[in-house]
Structure 1
Amino acid sequence: MRKALFNRNFFIMLALDALLLAASWLLSYGLRFELQVPEKFLDEMVFLLPAVVLVQLACLYAFDVYRGMWRFTSVGDLLNILKALALSTLIVVLLAVLIYRFRNVPRSVVFINFCIGVLAVSGSRLAIRLFFQKYVPSNPVPSLGVSPKPSEGHRPAAPPRRLLIIGAGSCGEKILREIRDNRQLNYEVVGFLDDNPGKIGKKIHGVMVRSIIADLPFVARKTEADEVLIAIPSANASEMRRIVDVCKHAGVRYRTVPAYGELINGHVSIKAAREVAYRDLIGRKTVQLDERMIAAHLAGKKVLVTGAGGSIGSELCRQILRFGAGSLVLFERSESSLFEIETELKSEAAQTVIPVLGDICDTRHLDEVFRGYAPEVVYHAAAYKHVPMLERHPWKAIENNILGTWNLVRACNAHGVERFVLVSTDKAVRPANVMGASKRLAEMITLNQNLCRVGETRYLAVRFGNVIGSAGSVVPVFQKQIEKGGPVTVTHPEATRFFMTIREAAQLILQAAAMGGEGGEIFILDMGTPVKIVDMARDLIRLSGFEPDVDIKIEFSGLRPGEKLSEELLTADEHLMPTAHPKIFKLNATACDLALLNGRLAELTALMDKKDANAIRLKLKEIVPDYQPAREMEKTPWATPT
């Protein structure tokens, strides 16, 4: 630490401050006596000079003024200078009283010296900051005033891109400051647009708020803007749609700052800017969480997440660490996915992150993991989820979604886990496919541990719909089809689905888990209004700059085996109850004969080993009466004929 502080820059700034403060003391006398200092004051002026300067330098050091990086001078740094010189002035007054009893030391000189000293020292820091902003690139400078030599063949930087910022609020102001502080971003902000008439014509750090958002095409032409940044994190879906339409009409590239819920710790940065995505247009408001409740549930706890490398699992991991979990075990069977989420979390989190490459179907390994890491809370997000794939391979749904869950439940009971949270799906309600039936059976296995008083672990399930942007979801599929020029294939013109963002789903799962009471409950997330898949396809085509059915065709392929026109969130015999959170509802699961259920699981296991697809469907129908198998059961080369 000593070596880091006492470097060349420290001594340069110390010498500069000494000169400025000495000049300030002498100038104070000059101003007091109109540049004609009486002879009787000269001795005290010269005698006190070194003492005054040393006291001021010591106070500046004590207030950490010399630890600041002056290219990033802030209001906090200037306040430290003010406090340091105020304290030094009091000490100088005390010295003058003790030594001279304030004779031949004019009181006004002390006050003038304080004012000039603050201006001189603060001004030097601001001058350094302005110099670096204007002349020195952001990346690394070896020492004060010495910039790296350009390499041979160095090409001059490209001219900065001219940027218009939509939104003259705090977010837009922070973006402007970041661009000015970091010249390597290579942007020049040429104006703001805002619909608040009181802001039109005003300036933010010298940049004018030029007009309302609807005038973007005119303003973009006038300023020769290359790009537009939408800096309104609080914008709702209708506002975003309107702004996007204006940007398209203007014919300039546009990007957006993410919503506040997506920003890490709420910090706004131009580096977080991204292309406008479909999730910005679906009309879902930012989730309001009871963060105290979630933190109380997770703070200091040892947590294990299965499927930690998946779309939902990885976001759960980020949020779990954000809410203060003591340690986190990442249980994942995909080597690449596990490596990616481990690398990300370890670079950002202070807590212990433990990657485990494993499979929930491996009971021996599960037992070793639970014995070795003793998790207190388990989030089970590992599952097969692709409906058509599991219709072709139903034994895999049995192995992973059902028996894998059963293995986890037994491990939790054996090792005294406090709470187990199953991530379920709306496809478990009156299932029409193997995937939905397997998740319904996973719910039954999980919740009946509490309903039948097995062990001390509290079990609950969280049921929700489709997640936008998750691996294999419809949005990435449509985007790839659009990139290829179409056609975009939709199953049915009337098909609808519930949608929410990955982050929203993960946050509501944590909220529901924190609300879990005695166990045996299913929590249902408010999915909002179902969205027509064909409307989603049209929105994505327009978002890509094309017109549906003109530039990109939409074709209807028909419902695939196991698919329904619409999804439901609860069955007829399930009764929804409100909770303390407006977006979360609760229903109590129906108890069943656990011994009978265990026997049927043994029968399912035998059919799984035989890869008997039709028999598996019939057995699932027997266990889950609401299950309506797809009429079209495609024969597979592995199926045992019946």
Structure 2
Amino acid sequence: GFYRRWWRYVSTRDIWGAARGVAIGCLIADLTVYFAHPVRGFPLPRGVAVLDFLLLLAFVTGSRLLARTVTERPAPGRLVVRGKEVIVVGAGDAAWQVVRQMLRTPELRYTPIGLIDDDPKKRNIQLEGVRVIGTTGELPHILRDSPPDEILIAIPSAPGELRERVVEAARQARVPVKTVPGLHELISGRVSVAQIRPVQVEDLLGREAVEVDLESIASYLKDEVVLVTGAGGSIGAELCRQIVRVGPKRLVLVDHGETPLFEIERELVDERSFTATVPVLGDVKSETRMRQLFESYRPSVVFHAAAYKHVPMIEANPLESVRNNVLATKVVADVAVEMGAERFVLVSTDKALNPAAVYGQSKAICEWIVEAYGARRDVSTRFVAVRFGNVLGSAGSVITIFRRQIEQGGPVTVTHPEMTRFFMTIPEAAQLVVQAGAIGGRGEIFVLEMGEPVRIVDLARDMITLSGKEPEREVAIEFIGARAGEKLHEELFGDGETVRETPHPKIRRATRPPVDTAWLEEELGELQRLVDSGETLEVVAKLAAMMREPKRAVAVQPAAHPQ
């Protein structure tokens, strides 16, 4: 047992402090005896000085270890198993903290009975007296022979593949699974048992934590007035949370929804102690209101996240969609240029590539507006667009819909068995949008690294499994066919785009010839006229025509996709 313990987890700060004190005390005492000769005729043997140091160190540190042992020893009657028996997956820092807290706090009613880790060097080692009993490959056999009450995944950086393997083994053994939060959720360095939660589908996707270059972000946001449109939405609200981390001079929150605007403003003030927030109820489609707003606060950085996004709803309401997505973007961009804003960052989408629906077409035109302004040498504002796929857990997302359907007992409705989508978490998307703003050049489009596309039917099965039910048997999956405007597979890079790396490993640059500025102005003017006249069919036809034959400043170059 002595060499099978992770001694690096034993607290040594107090021991080293005691050792320094003992060494100094012994040194003073020995020098006094050797040079002052308090007992004449009896010289002190040199070995006595060494024994004095060792014995004193043993008594000083031993007394402290004894006191700690007594205080941590379980009370009488608590030596038997208490509460739930738990197998902990992981044998690192997070696992040690969790196991230690379980053992020290009987009120939690958790008893760790074993550890699982794939590192062969950790086989049979012990953390706080709890032994590593096997690997994740052996977990099915362990659960069959000695099923615990619960399994806890205590690896914040665990890849989705490992989590899925543990969840599948637990499902077959009918053992509940919980996890500590992922790295992107952990703010402090410690992991608490209070943070343990059920495994969610986001964990199985295995998105890695984003490394944000706070220095580069602070260089353009710190002590600046920043304006965020759509601040009450999923992405807009998370952008606000990320921006306040670097200390802007003032953060102007713009949204036309009273309740979501109130909620994010209260969160920033009450929970994050950022009082320099200005909540503004306003419509980004109103040029007059936007001009008043920019004149009052003079923002130097604008994040434009306001947009309608639900594809079926937009297909049914194309006039308002074009008004809110396309024309409003033009309004905010025009006013930003007029008022001398330094940067304009557009939140875009992968649906802007080869769009088959009004939503994608509207966002494609928004990207054109960014490119056109970036190409103008008479404009000092630096325009960039950031393109990414679906975000997990946003309002109206497929995750939310599936969760509600599972709670109701099914069926879970999937449009097509082969449909795939790119996914990332809301914090990850917002962090990379802010980071892209630091990289941004003129009229450039940045594309976030989305990983591998996920089959929607697999996502549905995972969510049913995580709910403790059996897919198909207890909760049915029903295929209802693709909705209007939906594509089976989304893309991140389009024809004619050259893909280049950026200083950030999760952000790439897509370059292409910008659209002709005069042509775009003319087409946007025509769209404005059709929308104001209420010509629904003509607006839809106009969008399709613009997508077919966009007039670019120079010839389109062949695409260069990443390997």
What TM-score range do you get, normalising by the shorter chain? 0.7 to 0.9
**How far apart are the structure 2 equivalents of 1:232 and 1:323?**
28
**How far apart are the structure 2 equivalents of 1:417 and 1:130?**
65
RMSD of aligned residue pairs (Cα, Å): 3.8
Is it true that 1:240 corresponds to 2:163 in the alignment?
yes
Is it true that 1:579 corresponds to 2:514 in the alignment?
no
Q: Percent identity?
A: 43
**How far apart are the structure 2 equivalents of 1:130 and 1:308?**
54
Closer, same or farther: CA 121–209 of 1 in aligned 2, 3 Å: closer
Is it true that 1:464 corresponds to 2:388 in the alignment?
yes
Q: Which has the higher contact order (CA 8 A, sep 6+)?
A: 2
Is it true that 1:515 corresponds to 2:439 in the alignment?
yes
Shift of 1:440: 1.5
Is it true that 1:376 corresponds to 2:311 in the alignment?
no
Corresponding residue of 1:531: 454
Shift of 1:620: 2.6
Closer, same or farther: CA 603–184 of 1 in aligned 2, 3 Å: farther
Shift of 1:586: 1.7
Corresponding residue of 1:22: none
SS at match of 1:576: strand
Closer, same or farther: CA 77–344 of 1 in aligned 2, 3 Å: farther
SS at match of 2:197: coil
Per-residue CA deviations over 1:238-257 (Å, capped at 9, x if unaligned) read: 22221111111222211122
Between 1:110-119 and 1:182-191, the stretch displaced more is 110-119
Shift of 1:226: 1.9
The alignment covers a number of residue pairs equal to 531
Shift of 1:384: 0.9
Between 1:189-198 and 1:247-256, the stretch displaced more is 189-198
Corresponding residue of 1:336: 259
Taking the TM superposition and a 5 Å limit, the aligned residue runs for 1:560-639 are: 560-625=483-548
SS at match of 2:166: helix
**How far apart are the structure 2 equivalents of 1:133 and 1:351?**
44
Corresponding residue of 1:103: 38
Is it true that 1:200 corresponds to 2:123 in the alignment?
yes
SS at match of 2:498: coil
Contact 1:421 1:460 in 2 (8 A): yes
Corresponding residue of 1:420: 344
Per-residue CA deviations over 1:400-431 (Å, capped at 9, x if unaligned) read: 21232223213322333222111101111222
Contact 1:469 1:501 in 2 (8 A): yes
SS at match of 2:237: helix
**How far apart are the structure 2 equivalents of 1:91 and 1:374?**
68
Closer, same or farther: CA 210–566 of 1 in aligned 2, 3 Å: closer
Taking the TM superposition and a 5 Å limit, the aligned residue runs for 1:385-534 are: 385-517=309-441, 519-534=442-457
Contact 1:430 1:626 in 2 (8 A): no
Corresponding residue of 1:314: 237
**How far apart are the structure 2 equivalents of 1:626 and 1:119?**
86
Per-residue CA deviations over 1:595-620 (Å, capped at 9, x if unaligned) read: 55345434433433444322321333
Superposition TM-score, scaled by structure 2 size: 0.81
**How far apart are the structure 2 equivalents of 1:232 and 1:219?**
19
Shift of 1:522: 0.8
Taking the TM superposition and a 5 Å limit, the aligned residue runs for 1:176-187 are: 176-187=99-110
Per-residue CA deviations over 1:258-311 (Å, capped at 9, x if unaligned) read: 332332255433333322222233355555555554454545544333223322
Contact 2:210 2:428 in 1 (8 A): yes
Shift of 1:92: 8.2
Superposition TM-score, scaled by structure 1 size: 0.72
Contact 1:236 1:283 in 2 (8 A): yes
**How far apart are the structure 2 equivalents of 1:434 and 1:565?**
16
SS at match of 1:233: coil
**How far apart are the structure 2 equivalents of 1:85 and 1:327?**
55
**How far apart are the structure 2 equivalents of 1:190 and 1:446?**
58
Between 1:123-132 and 1:197-206, the stretch displaced more is 123-132
Contact 2:86 2:148 in 1 (8 A): yes
Shift of 1:369: 4.1
Contact 1:338 1:355 in 2 (8 A): no
**How far apart are the structure 2 equivalents of 1:624 and 1:268?**
50
**How far apart are the structure 1 equivalents of 2:29 and 2:342?**
64
Per-residue CA deviations over 1:569-617 (Å, capped at 9, x if unaligned) read: 3332333333344443222353344355345434433433444322321
Shift of 1:354: 0.9
Per-residue CA deviations over 1:81-121 (Å, capped at 9, x if unaligned) read: 66567667788899x79xx9563699979995997599558
Contact 2:234 2:426 in 1 (8 A): yes
Corresponding residue of 2:71: 131
SS at match of 1:435: helix
SS at match of 1:356: strand
SS at match of 1:229: strand
**How far apart are the structure 2 equivalents of 1:125 and 1:616?**
78
Contact 1:447 1:589 in 2 (8 A): no
Closer, same or farther: CA 201–567 of 1 in aligned 2, 3 Å: closer
- In structure 2, the gaps of 5 or more residues are 1-9, 76-80, 551-563
Taking the TM superposition and a 5 Å limit, the aligned residue runs for 1:148-159 are: none
Corresponding residue of 1:138: none
**How far apart are the structure 1 equivalents of 2:190 and 2:398?**
31
Shift of 1:323: 5.2
Corresponding residue of 1:36: none
Corresponding residue of 2:555: none
Taking the TM superposition and a 5 Å limit, the aligned residue runs for 1:270-285 are: 270-282=193-205, 284-285=207-208
SS at match of 1:262: coil
Corresponding residue of 2:554: none
**How far apart are the structure 1 equivalents of 2:223 and 2:263?**
24
Contact 2:370 2:383 in 1 (8 A): yes
- In structure 1, the gaps of 5 or more residues are 1-72, 136-157, 628-642
Per-residue CA deviations over 1:446-479 (Å, capped at 9, x if unaligned) read: 2322212343110000111112222111122122
SS at match of 2:473: coil
Is it true that 1:252 corresponds to 2:192 in the alignment?
no
Structure with bigger gyration radius = 1
Is it true that 1:213 corresponds to 2:128 in the alignment?
no
SS at match of 2:354: coil
Corresponding residue of 2:466: 543
**How far apart are the structure 2 equivalents of 1:214 and 1:297?**
48
Letter in 2 for 1:249: Q
**How far apart are the structure 2 equivalents of 1:175 and 1:246?**
22
Closer, same or farther: CA 391–122 of 1 in aligned 2, 3 Å: farther
Is it true that 1:358 corresponds to 2:251 in the alignment?
no
Corresponding residue of 1:305: 228
Closer, same or farther: CA 132–368 of 1 in aligned 2, 3 Å: farther
Contact 1:330 1:353 in 2 (8 A): no
